[in-house]
Structures are given as structure tokens and as C-alpha cells.
């Protein structure tokens, strides 16, 4: 096992791994983040489309809703809040950007 040189910080990372039953597992900084399949699937969709706004309609489909009414968008906001909180507590250089009336995007923070 290689050791890091003193003073060098490890790059924060987000990884997804698919197990044999096609379930996704989320790893942030090499630690498993255990949450519902829906939360992990939503996070994965945003991560795969890093820097691109995903429309509410597509995001709502991931959480099991075919409509984008007030109730569905409220539920989507709760899922997004979990993703934002997870990013903040794990210290990875990503944030979730909101495009009002359109959708959300996962964006890497430059210069960190």
C-alpha cells in the first residue's frame, strides 16, 4: 500500500458502483453512503450529466412521478436538499445549481 506524502491532500471523489442485481452504490471519499435506491438514482442522474441542467420532468420520473405539479416538485426539492447536504458534509467540490422553472444541475466547483 502506498502512503501519501505528508501535506498532500487527497482529492475528494464521488463514485458509483453497480452490484450484481443492478443496484447502484454511492461512495464519497471512498466511504459508502447508504440511502434509498431513489436517492442514489437521482444523485447518479445528476452526476452523469455533470454541468448540465436536468429538467424537472426527467428528475420527477426518477423519483416515481410522471407529473411535475406542486406536490411532485416539493418532493423533488426534498431529495435535492439531501443531495446538497450530503455534498456539503462530505466536503466534495460539487454543488447543486437551480435553474428556476427548468430543473437542477450538479456542478463541479472550479479551483478547489
**Domains observed in the chain:** 14-108 (1.10.10.10)
| Cell reading at 112 | 478547489
User: pLDDT tens string for the chain (112 positions)?
Assistant: 445 455 555 566 777 677 766 677 777 776 777 777 888 889 889 989 999 999 999 999 999 999 999 999 999 999 999 989 888 888 888 899 999 999 999 998 886 5
Are residues 52 and 103 in contact, defined by beta-carbon separation less than 8 angstroms? no
Amino acid 75: pLDDT: 96
Amino acid 9: pLDDT: 57
Amino acid 1: pLDDT: 46
Q: Using alpha carbons, list the distances in angstroms from residue 45 to 2, 58, 59, 62, 89.
A: 33, 9, 8, 8, 20
Amino acid 26: pLDDT: 75
**First-residue to last-residue Cα distance in the chain:** 27
How far, rounded to the nearest angstrom, does the alpha carbon of residue 37 sit from its chain's CA centroid? 12
Amino acid 55: pLDDT: 97
CA angle 33, 38, 43 (to 5 degrees): 60
Rounded to two decimals, the pTM is 0.77
Amino acid 108: pLDDT: 87
Amino acid 11: pLDDT: 62
Strand ranges of the sheet holding 14-18, from the earlier edge strand across to the other edge: 14-18, 24-28, 31-33
Amino acid at each position: 500500500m502506498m502512503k501519501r506524502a505528508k501535506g498532500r491532500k487527497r482529492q475528494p471523489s464521488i463514485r458509483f458502483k453497480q452490484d450484481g442485481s443492478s443496484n447502484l452504490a454511492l461512495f464519497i471519499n471512498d466511504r459508502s453512503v447508504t440511502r434509498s435506491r431513489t436517492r442514489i438514482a437521482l444523485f447518479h442522474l445528476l452526476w452523469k450529466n455533470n454541468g448540465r441542467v436536468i429538467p424537472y420532468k426527467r428528475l420527477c420520473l426518477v423519483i416515481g412521478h410522471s407529473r411535475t405539479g406542486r406536490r411532485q416538485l416539493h418532493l423533488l426539492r426534498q431529495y435535492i436538499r439531501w443531495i446538497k447536504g450530503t455534498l456539503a458534509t462530505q466536503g466534495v467540490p460539487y454543488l447543486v445549481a437551480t435553474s428556476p422553472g427548468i430543473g437542477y444541475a450538479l456542478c463541479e466547483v472550479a479551483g478547489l
